[in-house]
Amino acid sequence: MKLARLLLAALLVATVLSAGCVGLIRDTYKSLVSTPTPTSSLPITLTPIPINQAIERQYMFAEKLNSGLEHYNSGIMAMNRSRELADQHDWSNASIEIGMAKAYMEQARASFLDMKRYAFTADEANLSEKWNQTAYYEAKAFEFVNLSYQEDAYQSSRGDEANYIRYNYYVSQANYYLGLAKACKAEAEELERRTFIGQQGQVI
């Protein structure tokens, strides 16, 4: 009788342990496997959002302007480096830097002129032309700056016989074109404020 009770108790323990293990395994399985979701009978397709032609035109106009300004600013920085080198009487490297500055301005002009392809209003077309003129005058100024460096280097080597008449002429011409560039830049910035670019972010 005692043996029968022991066997019955052993059977109950085995049953409880077995149920517990199955429960543990089943719960763990549930936590690892996500519940399947119903699938749609219709295929999911992604269609591009149509872009309004006016928005695309404005986008390209702004892209060309940004490209031109990037080249323009690189030209100004190269010019400033050339001046620092010239102050140190490093005429050779100063001439190289001002040559790079002029090349940047020519690249800026190409981008500014390309803006006109996407201009819609008179202000946008004029903005393209004013930035082109600004870069043109900067490039002309850099030509005379370069000549002034070369002349300064030559006259510096002559000692007491130095003659700076040509040097002063080159400097005056460089300043003349820089003045024209400054005036054109101010006009360009005023035009920009009247275009959609200047109106970005304004509350209507």
Kindly report, residue by residue over 30-61, the tens digit of the pLDDT: 333 344 444 445 555 555 555 688 899 999 99
- Cα–Cα distance list, 84 to 61, 81, 103, 120 (Å): 35, 5, 19, 42
What does the pLDDT read at residue 36? 44
Kindly report, residue by residue over 66-93, the tens digit of the pLDDT: 999 999 999 999 999 999 999 999 999 9
**Would you state the structure tokens that stand for residue 159, as one six-digit string?**
């000692």
Mean pLDDT of the chain: 82
Using 50, 70 and 90 to split pLDDT, how confident is the model at 26?
A: very low
Q: What is the mean pLDDT of residues 89-115?
A: 97
Q: What is the mean pLDDT of residues 104-130?
A: 96
**Would you state the structure tokens that stand for residue 42, as one six-digit string?**
């219709």
Kindly report, residue by residue over 162-203, the tens digit of the pLDDT: 999 999 999 999 999 999 999 999 999 999 999 998 887 544
What type of residue sits at position 91? W
Q: What is the mean pLDDT of residues 12-19?
A: 40
What does the pLDDT read at residue 135? 98
Which has the higher per-residue pLDDT, 9 or 74?
74
**Would you state the structure tokens that stand for residue 129, as one six-digit string?**
């032309």
Instruction: Work out the burial of residue 25: count CB atoms within 10 Å of its CB; fewer than 13 is exposed, 13-18 middle, 19 or more buried.
Output: exposed
For the chain, give the percent of residues with pLDDT over 90.
70
